[in-house]
Amino acid sequence: MILTPDDVIFFSLGSLPVNATIVYTWIVMSLLTTGSWLITRNLSSTPDISYLQNLLEVLVTGVRDQIEEITRQRSDQYLAFIGTLFVFIITSNLLAIVPGYYPPTGSLSTTAALAICVFIAVPLFGISNEGLLNYLRHYIRPSLLMLPFNLIGELSRVISLAVRLYGNIMSGTVIVGILLSLMPLFFPIVIQLLGLITGVIQAYIFAVLAIVYIASASSSQHQSNPLSDNETDQDSTTR
Amino acid sequence: MAIDWLTVVAQLINFLVLVYLLKRFLYQPVITAMDNREQLISTQMTQAQQREQVAEERENEYQTELHSLQKQQNELLSQARQRAEKEAEQFLQQARKKIADNRQQWQQDLKQEQQDFLRSLKQQGSQTIIHIAQQLLKDLANRPLERQIIDVFIQQLASLDDKQKQALATDKTPVHIVTTFEVDDELRSYLKKSLQQFIDSRELLFEQSAELICGIEIRAEGQKISWTIADYIHKLEQTMEDALGS
């Protein structure tokens, strides 16, 4: 039984082995990129739009709304990062329905890489929003004594992110694998369905947690609350 | 549960590449399209609001114009009605006047006709009466009547005043005796004898004329003395006219 697609080596680029995780990631990437390119080639700015453009707009608007709801800030700077996290994870997980496909998110290496991205993104966004000193002050709040706990908290967040996603997706795949050997008919399908739901939920959880971490690192922004001002402006113009 | 760090690095790079690619091919175009649409809708909304405003202004203008037109129409109608009433009144007055004129004319005509009829009746009546009287007197003018007429005439001569008698007696010119009846020798001698006392020995010239109707007349130089029934008939005619005229 394959516990992680890292173990499946497809081919080697020189001395670098290319395993199933990377190959499936590339497949997911090419699917997303090609699909996006095909749809966004002929975007319409009029109210008369295609179904696929509508789908993309619903996706983008949904992600923006979620980000703005959680951060109470404009979503522009976070959209690409958070949106890509969500889209990549959900696509990886949903493709699990395809026979022979193994989700890259079922590899701890992938989830760790994503968690590391979040781990790096949090201070980057925090510093860009508040400045270095203000950001660093977060770690000694409410007192200097809290510094080690804060550091541990940061690290544990990364680990929990990585392991939660990995565990959920891997377990789904493993359970289906086990059930297939024990009870080959019907029941694995139900479990696979559950796995799809789990995959969607996990993608949502991962993305939302990433926003929450980033927002908490930029907490001083809450006081000025530029989004609410903008929203008020927008509302007044819309009316 | 092992982490392949090489894969981790590869996945890190893959993810960052994917972030770039999706930003390039997904988020930016979609957001641009949405912003453009929002802009378009906003522009259309503004234009629609402007058009609505213009339309409202137009509507107000048209309403005002409509009101003024209605007012004008009412005024014109009222004027027309007044004019029509005035004209109708005029026509009515003209008609009344015409009827009155016609009536007056008719009455005048009627009166004229009546008068003409009366006149004609009067003339015809008088003429008929005269004619009858003439006829009657003609039929009755026999000798004893003629002699009687002469007697009456002689009596009339006798009643003349002295001056007239004197004028009649002194003149020497012949005396014309006009009668309606034929005067035979007997009557001539009777007339001569009767007139002797008035005209002395003046010459007598006898004439016969129907104009006198029934009577006798003597015409001397500057004098004319007569007795005829025509006088009575004139009086009768006068009486008839008076009776019909009233």
In tens, the pLDDT along B114-164 reads 778 777 776 676 667 656 765 666 666 555 677 777 888 888 888 888 887
Kindly state whether A4 is in contact with chain B, defined as any CB-CB distance less than 8 angstroms. Answer: yes
Q: For position B244, what pLDDT does the model report?
A: 63
Q: Enumerate the residues of chain A whose CB falls inside 8 A of the CB of residue B12.
A: 113, 116-117
Query: Does B15 contact A60 at a Cβ distance shorter than 8 Å?
Result: no
Query: Does B26 contact A60 at a Cβ distance shorter than 8 Å?
Result: yes
Q: Are A186 and A179 in contact (CB under 8 A)?
A: no
Residues of chain A whose pLDDT is less than 70? 1-3, 219-239
Kindly state whether A233 is in contact with chain B, defined as any CB-CB distance less than 8 angstroms. Answer: no
> What gap in Å lies between CA B86 and CA B83, rounded to an integer?
5
Please name the residue of chain A whose CA is at the shortest distance from the CA of residue B25: A37
Q: How far is B47 from chain A (nearest CA, A)?
A: 14
Kindly state whether B45 is in contact with chain A, defined as any CB-CB distance less than 8 angstroms. Answer: no
Please name the residue of chain B whose CA is at the shortest distance from the CA of residue A16: B6
Query: Does B33 contact A29 at a Cβ distance shorter than 8 Å?
Result: no
Q: How far is B16 from chain A (nearest CA, A)?
A: 9
Domain-by-domain residue ranges, chain A?
17-41+49-224
The residue among A19, A65, A81, A75 whose CA lies nearest residue A207 is A81
> What gap in Å lies between CA B156 and CA B9, rounded to an integer?
188
Q: How far is A163 from chain B (nearest CA, A)?
A: 9
Residues B33-42 pLDDT 10s = 999 888 999 9
Q: For position B176, what pLDDT does the model report?
A: 85
> What gap in Å lies between CA B154 and CA A225, rounded to an integer?
166
Q: For position A236, what pLDDT does the model report?
A: 39
Q: For position A224, what pLDDT does the model report?
A: 44
| pLDDT exceeds 90 at position B18 | yes
Q: Are A113 and B15 in contact (CB under 8 A)?
A: yes
Domain-by-domain residue ranges, chain B?
141-245
Name which of A19, A40, A63 to mutate to probe chain B: the one with the most chain B Cβ atoms within 10 A of its Cβ.
Answer: A40
Q: For position A221, what pLDDT does the model report?
A: 45
Please name the residue of chain A whose CA is at the shortest distance from the CA of residue B39: A45
Please name the residues between 154 and 173 in chain A that touch chain B, using a CB distance below 8 Å.
none
Query: Does A109 contact B8 at a Cβ distance shorter than 8 Å?
Result: yes
Q: For position B246, what pLDDT does the model report?
A: 54
Q: How far is B66 from chain A (nearest CA, A)?
A: 34
Kindly state whether A47 is in contact with chain B, defined as any CB-CB distance less than 8 angstroms. Answer: yes
Task: State the ipTM, two decimals.
Answer: 0.85
Name which of A36, A49, A164 to mutate to probe chain B: the one with the most chain B Cβ atoms within 10 A of its Cβ.
Answer: A36
Please name the residues between 71 and 100 in chain A that touch chain B, using a CB distance below 8 Å.
79-81, 83-84, 87-88
Residues A94-134 pLDDT 10s = 998 888 888 898 888 898 899 899 989 988 998 988 888 88
Q: For position A97, what pLDDT does the model report?
A: 86
Q: Are A216 and A91 in contact (CB under 8 A)?
A: no
Q: How far is B9 from chain A (nearest CA, A)?
A: 7
Q: Enumerate the residues of chain B whose CB falls inside 8 A of the CB of residue A109.
A: 3-5, 7-8, 11
Residue A133 identity (one-letter amino acid):
L
**Range name among B55-69, B137-151, B193-207 with the lowest pLDDT average:** B137-151
The residue among A175, A174, A169 whose CA lies nearest residue A108 is A169
> What gap in Å lies between CA B216 and CA B188, rounded to an integer?
13
Please name the residue of chain A whose CA is at the shortest distance from the CA of residue B21: A33
Residues B228-238 pLDDT 10s = 777 776 777 67
Confidence class for position B6, pLDDT limits 50, 70, 90: confident
Cis peptide before A142 (omega within 30 of 0): yes
| pLDDT exceeds 70 at position B2 | yes
Q: For position A230, what pLDDT does the model report?
A: 45
On the 0-12 / 13-18 / 19+ scale of CB atoms within 10 A, A173 is: buried
